[in-house]
Amino acid sequence: MCGIAGFVDPAGRTPDPQRVLHAMRQALRHRGPDDAGDFIDAPAFLGHRRLSIVDLSPAGRQPFVLTDPAGAPDVVALANGELYNHYALRPALRAAFPDATPGASDCAILPWLWRLHGPRLLERLVGMYALAVWDARRHTLLLARDPGGEKPLYYAPLPGGGLAFASEPKALLAHPLVSRAVDPVGLRRYLTFDYVPGRATVYAAIRKLEPGAHLLWTPRGLTHGRHGEIPFGPPVLHDRREIADAVWRALGDAVEARLMADVPLGVFLSGGLDSTAVTAALTARRDPATVQTFSIGFDDASFDESAHARAVAAHLGTTHHEQRLSPETLLALVPELIAGLDEPFADASIVPTWLLSRFARQHVTVALGGDGGDELFQGYPTYAADAMARLAARLPRPVRRRLLEPLARLIPHRAAYMSLDFKARRFLSALELPADHRHPVWIGGVHPDEHAAALSPALAAGLRTAAPDDAVFADIDALVARFQSAQPSGSREDLISWLYLQTYLADDVLMKVDRASMAHALEVRAPLLDPALARLAGHIPSSCKRVGAVTKRPLRDALAGRVPPSILRRPKQGFGVPMAAWLRGPLSGWMRDVLDPVRVARGGLLDPAWTTRLMDEHLAGRVTHHKALWSALVLELWRAGNHGPDRTPP
């Protein structure tokens, strides 16, 4: 696990390029505090920060460089992540190159794979990775991201036909030719989704690779391509017991592959079904007493899963560690957290994830997590909401407004986790949108209809031309078209799962885990996104995944008899934070300070009338605005940290 950064500058427009490369590399020091390396041979400048996981010796230092017979650089490779199948790929390399001597590091095989397969090497990799390969003879740069989207990779075109890349935007922003100017479409997407999905970022100059995508740079230009994605196809398994057995075997194999490490390893254990499944599979293959598990708790019982995590740990016999998150802890974390994000990111669960990563790093260097289960096995409550919305949409619009909205207003207000009034208002807020646009609004922060009121008058005036409504959901529409082209007979539920995999999982959940863990030099791996397990899930009928109110039935069946029955009966609970109550109580003064109308007006992004109204209504207890308020708080803190406290972004 590491950080990568670099650029190709054929026109030589980068001033003092070696200094720039070192600044970019230094911006990623938190991702790899153990070592650093670079390759400098114009027009290519490549840098690496190393977190030693496999092959702790100096031989594992990157970039890996192959030379030609004359000793000149030939192929250079650097990567962030792990290649779990590198042992299986080595015999073919030895057969093709008898004198090949790739080191013990999993990524040391990459230059040799390029020599043998060129860009098609990506079809052979199993792992989580963001990688770069530079062919010095052909002046060709390959950038690629794993199909699950576990590891991020960003890029920015440079003047003169060059290209810069990095594991995080902060490294790209260290390059003097990469602008900090805000993209209006990216800003609206952040407000809608809580994050910026797809290729876009909040910066107009910076883009990111999508899961399973690659980019090929040559002096002639850029070529985008795809080398893999999590598939959905015709159902091949229908028997309930057969499905459960197949899932358990595939999960065990996935966990086994992700134990590849020369450093201590543990598990994030929330007490939910997915992390319980990973822990159970690990303890089935290793002495439970050697397995360390980690969880975060809250004082608010409706958000606290720590008792369930303790029950699983006790049942399986792991060595369990627990820490609690208080409002005071959150306030202490905020400056560090916002500084580590690069972009505004309003999923508040990054706070406990940040604390959990810091806590776990005191004991281990690698952790397994349960991400991916909700997407692959239909665990989100929005699947049921989708079906209900399609039924409700059949009612005439005036009937919906006269019947459903008054009913929702009658529900008593509560600040508990996923309270009924919160779910009802969320459901109705997206009912008038196209079906494929509802899910981002259900889980996001600020409804698109509110953007004109939320943004400063100067920004709102230009929304119609600079960032129209259809641009906000353009990536969703493109993904739907791509799925329907590949799977014309695919089910509605499979389409929803695929959209979650490509957007919410990749750009929210996995990005959150990557930033929180790498800020503390901790590597987190997701066994549920193993290609074999994902393919298996993609071929299980939707009718077997969600049966009535029972979600993720294949996982529940696979764990039957292996974990406490109470865990198998639990409904879905996200890694939430009691933000609604905290913003009314211990965090209210901090909120008032950050969203002070004078400060907000000077910042130039948000309209202080909007933020003040939200605060007043929330503090009065008339309605819960914690999602929109947290979006506003993060945006203001990000703006101040990235553009100065009194200056509007250019």
Q: List, by residue number, the catalytic residues.
A: 2
Return the HEC string of 487-549: CCCCCHHHHHHHHHHHHHHHHHHHHHHHHHHHCCCCEEECHHHCHHHHHHHHCCCHHHHCECC
Helix (H) / strand (E) containing 563: none
Report whether 243 contacts 559 (CB < 8 A). no
Start-end of H helices in 412-491: 420-429, 435-443, 451-454, 457-461, 463-466, 469-472, 474-486
* 3-class secondary structure, 363: coil
Closest CA to 251 of 372, 81, 124, 379: 372
C-alpha 552/C-alpha 375 separation (Å) is: 9
Torsion, Cα 599 442 332 151, to 10 degrees, reads -110
Tokens of 580: 């609604």
Query: 10 Å Cβ neighbour count for 416?
Result: 15
The single-letter DSSP state of residue 411 is S
* Helix or strand run (H / E) with residue 616: helix 608-619
515: its two tokens: 């930033």
Token pair for 624: 């819960």
Tokens matching residue 588:
């209210």
Among 352, 277, 349, residue whose Cα is nearest residue 528: 277
Q: Give which of 581, 600, 593 is closest to 639, Cα–Cα.
A: 600
Q: Is 552 exposed, middle or buried (0-12, 13-18, 19+ CB in 10 A)?
A: buried
CA–CA separation, 126 vs 439, rounded Å? 30
- Strands 292-297 and 319-324, sheet pairing: parallel
Handedness of CA 395, 400, 402, 408 (dihedral sign): positive
Q: Nearest Cα to 513, choosing from 342, 368, 353?
A: 353
Q: How far apart are CA 65 and CA 53, in angstroms?
A: 20
Alpha helices by DSSP H, 97-205: 110-117, 169-172, 184-193
252 vs 527: CA distance, rounded Å: 9
100 CB contacts (<8 Å, ≥6 apart)? 93, 94, 112
What SS3 class is residue 264? coil
State the DSSP H helix or E strand holding residue 64, giving kind and residue range, or none if neither: strand 64-67
Q: What is the CA radius of gyration of the chain?
A: 24
In 3-state terms the chain splits into helix, strand, coil percentages (rounded to 5) of 50, 15, 35
Within 13 Å and on the Cβ side, how many CA atoms surround 381? 13
Pairing type for strands 154-158 and 207-208 reads antiparallel
Q: How far is CA 56 from the centre of its chain?
A: 27
What is the total residue count of the chain? 650
